[in-house]
Amino acid sequence: MRKSCDDISHMIVFGKTYPLRLPDSLHKWHVYLLDKGHCILCVRREDLSLARKEGMDNCEIPIPVKTVLRLGYHIQDDYVIVAGTTFNDAGLIIPEEDEEF
């Protein structure tokens, strides 16, 4: 389990696999959360400066698989980096159609 999951480990459903073909490069970061469904643990590109200062694990968040695949990603230093996510005071804004339970 990744360090970024320490505080949410009680929400993880272990052993739940993604029902569609997931790119091999993303398997390591896939997690199923009770309240979010199928997600990839990512760092938002918009948060990279902060993540480099405060630690990448502190900025790694679950983002729905469909969102990651739609927006695109790259892997840097063992972290999935995603650009183009929208964030507000309530948290990450995800289109409903990207959620998969």
Which pLDDT tens digit goes with each residue over 36-67?
A: 999 999 999 999 999 999 999 999 999 999 99
In whole numbers, what is the pLDDT of the chain averaged over residues?
94
Q: In whole angstroms, what is the distance from residue 101 CA to residue 4 CA?
A: 21
Q: How many residues does the chain have?
A: 101
Q: In whole angstroms, what is the distance from residue 73 CA to residue 37 CA?
A: 19
Mean pLDDT of 73-91: 91
pTM comes to 0.93
